[in-house]
A and B are shown apart, each in its own frame.
Chain A
Amino acid sequence: MATQLKDTRQTQTLPQGSVTWPLPPRERPDVVGADKATLEAYLATAPLEEVDIADPLWWETDTNHVYFRRLREEAPVFFTSVNSNRHRGFWNVVRWNDVMAVDTNHQVFSSEAMLGGITLFDMDPDFIMPMFIAMDQPKHDVQRKAVNPIVSGQNLANYEELIRSRTCEVLDSLPRGEAFDWVDKVSIELTSRMLATLFGWPQERRRMLTYWSDVSTSDPELPGSPGKEERQGILLGMLQEFTMLWNERVNAEPTGDLVSMLAHNPATRNMPPMEFMGNLVLLIVGGNDTTRNSITGGLYFLNKNPEEYAKLKANHGLVENMVSEIIRYQTPLAHMRRTALQDTVLGGQLIHKGDKVVMWYTSANRDDTVLDNPDAFIIDRPRARQHMSFGFGIHRCVGNRLAELQLKILWEEILKRFDTIEVLEEPERVPSAFVRGYKSMMVRIPA
């Protein structure tokens, strides 16, 4: 399977240079608007090259997994040309071992913002925000190390009590016997409070952080999202507010928050404004979207798998293992992207210098050649920590231990309080091939 060297790109359709804005209309199959079963049936039989899996359609409807299963079996390193006038075309890397090979080879596969960065769609060339996740060595290492102490073992131990008391407060305030949105009342509430603490940001304005996170990852083409210029304006406003905090803290004693850490570390003290903004966006999105969606996803999965919920209620000691399984099963960031710095061969395919290479973590986490029964949500799965959701190599998630701690405490406290939390209807999903998440999920706690 895919062992011979075969260039699957249709080079004649590849535009030169970067794409132009506004983007040309997206080519779509005529199943748009059909029900989930129809969409899945389409993905199960359509020619592989006809599908643009970056289309938000496949994410909003949670149907993408059908296509990834086919790619893993039929074409594990596969070039998408359709709609290349929008995204320049990209390689899909879908198997565990291939994703690992790319993620651990930072000399060949670059994260550099100027080459487009770390998401499938290139960073806006008129608004490049350098951030350490989108840097290569050596600059990446020194900037990452500047913020590392906030999630050190000692610091996490210091946060534990605070996280627990807030979690209790949020859970105790939830209505009983009536429908409410779990995303808003719990997932966003807990993650925004944590973020405000990490940044030393005023708690009463914590939802601004959620707003900026959502704006950073929003798709300017979608109705209701800020357009390209509006997005730039909002993020510049964020920069302005954080610059005031920076100015307060740069000459003061270190206060242990992220702004103070960045202002005091020689590696980040003299960052240009756009780089400060970039790192803010990284840390806000990194600490917000991911944990938020795992908080929602966990409750959803337990409702979909009542036997697992029963197992958990019978044995609260499973929480820690379950947290890893939730993070695997959710895969809150569906992919990370790299740019090839030289011609290279991966999975028998010739990848050219400059090509976009998309590591689909969401697919690697369902690779049955590495994981047993990966489509099942199993809270006592052996070696559940072995999942792809945090990435591997030098760009591996820096906040993973904090995320695990937040989720662990949340589930410990839920189990102490509520016999069950019912999900009332299918959640509304985020239409994004990057942030795999939920806009809302209506639930009820029995009175």
Chain B
Amino acid sequence: MVKIIYVEHNGARHEVNVPEGENLMEGAVQNNVPGIDGDCGGNAACATCHCYIPEQWAGLTGERSELEDSMIELADTAKPNSRLACQIKASAALDGLEVLMPATQH
């Protein structure tokens, strides 16, 4: 299990254990973390699991794919450290990761 801390826009923190290999959208949805919807089921195709990854973790969470990049670009809350949680898989290296959420998912 990998400890992931989902932080809502209002600061509310949700610390959950995500099985290794599971994506971080599923990790949130399975644990009823509010603010992550995952409408497309993990295909980087809806941007309803949009989140921000703190800089110190960026190297460990991989790169955006072309589709992920396109979807993020269309969200009006996009930032340089935006990612789609469904495209990041839980791994031992991410233990303790803080996933920050925008005010709303679009």
B45's partner among A104, A383, A385 (CB-CB below 8 A) is: A104
In the assembled complex, which residues on chain B have CB atoms less than 8 Å from the CB atom of A148? 74, 76, 106
Question: Once the chains bind, are A394 and B70 in contact (CB under 8 Å)?
Answer: yes
**Chain B residue total in the interface (Cβ 8 A):** 23
Question: Once the chains bind, are B106 and A151 in contact (CB under 8 Å)?
Answer: yes
Interface size class of A (residues with CB under 8 A): 20 to 34
Interface residues of B in 48-93 (CB under 8 A from A): 48, 66-67, 70-71, 73-74, 76-77
* B positions within 8 Å CB-CB of A: 29, 37-41, 43-48, 66-67, 70-71, 73-74, 76-77, 103-104, 106
Question: Once the chains bind, are B106 and A141 in contact (CB under 8 Å)?
Answer: no
Question: Once the chains bind, are A141 and B73 in contact (CB under 8 Å)?
Answer: yes
Question: Once the chains bind, are A152 and B39 in contact (CB under 8 Å)?
Answer: no
Question: Once the chains bind, are B67 and A393 in contact (CB under 8 Å)?
Answer: yes
23 A-B residue pairs with CB within 8 Å: A100-B43, A100-B45, A103-B45, A104-B45, A107-B66, A141-B70, A145-B76, A152-B76, A153-B103, A154-B103, A156-B104, A383-B29, A385-B37, A386-B39, A386-B40, A392-B40, A392-B43, A392-B45, A393-B45, A394-B74, A396-B45, A396-B46, A401-B106
Question: Once the chains bind, are A149 and B76 in contact (CB under 8 Å)?
Answer: yes
Judge whether A144 is part of the interface by a CB distance below 8 angstroms: yes
**Further 15 A-B residue pairs, CB within 8 A, beyond A106-B70, A385-B48, A396-B47:** A100-B40, A100-B45, A107-B66, A137-B70, A141-B74, A148-B76, A148-B106, A149-B76, A152-B106, A154-B103, A387-B39, A392-B43, A393-B45, A394-B71, A396-B45
* A positions within 8 Å CB-CB of B: 100, 103-104, 106-107, 137, 141, 144-145, 148-149, 151-154, 156, 383, 385-387, 390, 392-394, 396, 401
Nearest first, the 10 closest Cβ-Cβ pairs linking A and B are A153-B104, A392-B45, A385-B39, A104-B45, A392-B40, A148-B76, A393-B45, A394-B70, A386-B41, A152-B76
